[in-house]
């Protein structure tokens, strides 16, 4: 048995960075490094209270789209928007200057 048994013959595996770049382009992320940092560190950036109810969805043209689990959280985020944008700026620089809030659809 070798470490390469699952790799089709003649086709080397794609580097993880290439795979991530393709995924981020499909998700319409504008700056891959900032997007990775933002999405992977979301809970640490915004704190548990917000992260429990708000999920980042897309970063495109400096607009961060987030999804909230309840309309009340959409209202709460509107009040916290300038503070949240300031916090995001500390972590990802000028990559985010607008917040777009969507309420998650329930079944």
Check which CATH number belongs to the domain holding 43 and give it. Answer: 3.30.300
Mean pLDDT, contiguous 10-residue spans, the chain (107 residues): 61 73 62 76 94 92 93 96 94 89 87
Domain that holds residue 78: 16-103
Q: Which two tokens stand for residue 8?
A: 């089709």
- The predicted structure's pLDDT at residue 73: 96
For residue 74, being part of any structural domain is answered with yes
For residue 8, being part of any structural domain is answered with no
For residue 90, being part of any structural domain is answered with yes
Number of domains in the chain: 1
- The predicted structure's pLDDT at residue 75: 96
Q: What is the pTM of this model?
A: 0.68
For residue 5, being part of any structural domain is answered with no
For residue 83, being part of any structural domain is answered with yes
Q: Which two tokens stand for residue 9?
A: 């013959």
d(CA 10, CA 60): 36
- The predicted structure's pLDDT at residue 31: 60
The dihedral built from the CA positions of residue 82, 84, 85 and 90, taken in this order, carries a sign that is: positive
The 10 Å CB-count burial string (b at 16+, else e) for 28-56 is ebbbbebbebbbeebeebbeeebeebbbb
- The predicted structure's pLDDT at residue 51: 96
Give 24-85 as a DSSP string.
HHHTT-SSHHHHHHHHHTHHHHH-HHHHTTEEEEEEETTEEEEEESSHHHHHHHHHHHHHHH
For residue 9, being part of any structural domain is answered with no
């Amino acid at each position: 048995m070798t470490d390469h048994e699952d790799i089709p013959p003649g086709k080397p595996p794609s580097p993880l960075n290439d795979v991530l770049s393709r995924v981020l382009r499909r998700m319409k992320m504008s700056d891959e490094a900032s997007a990775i940092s933002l999405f992977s560190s979301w809970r640490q950036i915004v704190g548990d209270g917000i992260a429990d109810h708000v999920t980042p969805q897309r970063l495109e043209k400096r607009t961060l789209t987030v999804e909230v689990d309840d309309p009340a959280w959409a209202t709460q985020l509107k009040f916290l928007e300038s503070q949240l944008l300031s916090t995001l700026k500390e972590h990802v620089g000028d990559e985010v200057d607008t917040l777009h809030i969507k309420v998650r659809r329930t079944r």
